Structure 1
Amino acid sequence: MALSRTTLILATAALAIAGCAKKRPEVLPPAPVDNTGDTGTGTGPATGAGDGAITPGSNADFQRSVTSNTVLFGLDQYDIDPAARAILDNQAQWLARYPNVRITIEGHCDERGTREYNLALGDRRANAAKNYLAARGVAASRITTISYGSERPAATGSDDAAWAQNRRAVTVVLN
Structure 2
Amino acid sequence: MRSAGTALLSLAAVAVLAGCSTGPQGDAVVVRSSNSTTWATSESMAAAAAAEARAQAARDAARAAAAARSTLPASAAEPRRAGVETGPGPVAPGTMASAAALPPRQAEVERIVYFDFDRTEIRDEYKGMIDRRARALLAAPQAGVVVEGHADERGGREYNLALGQKRAEAVVRALVLLGVPPDRLEAVSFGDTRPAVQGQGEQAWSQNRRAELKDR
Q: TM-score range by the shorter chain?
A: 0.5 to 0.7
The structure 2 residue matched to 1:74, chosen from 116, 125, 133, is 116
More helix by share: 2
For residues 62 and 148 of structure 1, the distance between their equivalents in structure 2, rounded to whole angstroms, comes to 24
SS of the aligned residue for 2:186 comes to: strand
Please report the RMSD computed on the Cα atoms of aligned residues, expressed in angstroms. 1.9
Shift in Å, 1:63: 5.2
Q: Provide the TM-score with structure 1 as the length reference.
A: 0.62
Which of the pair has the greater relative contact order for Cα pairs under 8 Å at 6+ separation? 1
Unaligned runs of 5+ in 2: 1-84, 86-97
Q: Is 1:111 the counterpart of 2:153 in the alignment? A: yes
AA aligned to 2:189 is S
Number of aligned residue pairs: give it. 116
SS of the aligned residue for 1:149 comes to: coil
The structure 2 residue matched to 1:160, chosen from 188, 192, 202, is 202
The structure 2 residue matched to 1:141, chosen from 175, 183, 186, is 183
Shift in Å, 1:159: 1.0
1:94 match: 136
Shift in Å, 1:62: 4.4
Shift in Å, 1:64: 4.4
For residues 109 and 121 of structure 1, the distance between their equivalents in structure 2, rounded to whole angstroms, comes to 7
| Identity over aligned pairs, percent | 37
Q: Deviations over 1:123-147 (max 9, x none)?
A: 0000000000000011111001110
For residues 109 and 63 of structure 1, the distance between their equivalents in structure 2, rounded to whole angstroms, comes to 27
Unaligned runs of 5+ in 1: 1-50, 52-60
Q: Deviations over 1:130-174 (max 9, x none)?
A: 000000011111001110000001111101011001000000001
2:193 match: 151
AA aligned to 1:147 is S
For residues 127 and 93 of structure 1, the distance between their equivalents in structure 2, rounded to whole angstroms, comes to 19
Contact kept? 1:62, 1:94, Cα under 8 Å:
no
For residues 158 and 64 of structure 1, the distance between their equivalents in structure 2, rounded to whole angstroms, comes to 34
Structure 1 residue runs of 4 or more that deviate by more than 3 Å after TM superposition: 61-67
AA aligned to 2:200 is S
